[in-house]
Homo-oligomer: A and B are copies of this chain.
């Protein structure tokens, strides 16, 4: 049974959407989920091109991601997106990534806003853009959990990343998914191959622009209530020192402790 505000499509995972362990990367997971929301918009006549003509674009300001397990190379997925609810400025959207047998692999909640691409600022969601989704219009959409701040007594590592031409999308905006590669890379191969991602909260605070160099700050992994936690910040360097672009909090399990034989 499909609800009117839902849209479902299938996707077969390719090797270049996976990392060296053969699992889909977080960046590509978000890319393929967002593709479903683009395709829903297209099907409803309010797609990217229609919005670009009005100088508008959807921008994602926050995600909460719950991972049962990451999809694998060659796996056939069913991706459902749902326009859950919206208020005057914010739209709540969910994504459900399922395997071929209908088992839920990943659940994503997201907050979308509409950007005026010329003025580079958020505007009230135009009714013509949101009405076709038939999502409940509410007074105030539920908030997603905020990532915890890095505190002064925590130890951390940092790495710098230059924003590249190929990080830009058709909005001339750095694709949000690219932030996940910057967030995770400083953790290094040793950590990333021995741990499995369980949960992500991320808030995008300010827009990273082409040509910027950003610093990815990651706290030393700490065990809190049985889960391994890393806290992350994407911050400015040079003239942009003091600027925070994004904050995130991730929880992990030791890979060996998981009961998956494959």
Separation of A184 and B166 alpha carbons in the complex (Å):
9
Pair A19/B181 contact, Cβ less than 8 Å: no
Contact for A35 among B14, B28, B31, B172, CB less than 8 A:
B14
Q: How many copies does the complex hold?
A: 2
Pair A15/B35 contact, Cβ less than 8 Å: yes
Pair B181/A164 contact, Cβ less than 8 Å: yes
Question: Does A22 have its Cβ within 8 Å of any Cβ on chain B?
Answer: yes
Pair A165/B31 contact, Cβ less than 8 Å: no
A residues 1-59 in Cβ contact with B at 8 Å:
14-16, 18-22, 25, 27-28, 31-32, 35, 38, 48
Q: A14-B32, A181-B164 are in contact. Are A20 and B188 (CB under 8 A)?
A: no
Separation of A177 and B28 alpha carbons in the complex (Å):
16
23 pairs of residues in contact across A and B, judged by CB atoms under 8 Å:
A14-B32, A15-B35, A15-B48, A16-B28, A16-B31, A16-B175, A16-B177, A19-B166, A20-B165, A21-B170, A159-B162, A161-B162, A164-B185, A165-B184, A165-B185, A165-B187, A165-B188, A165-B189, A165-B192, A166-B181, A166-B185, A168-B189, A189-B210
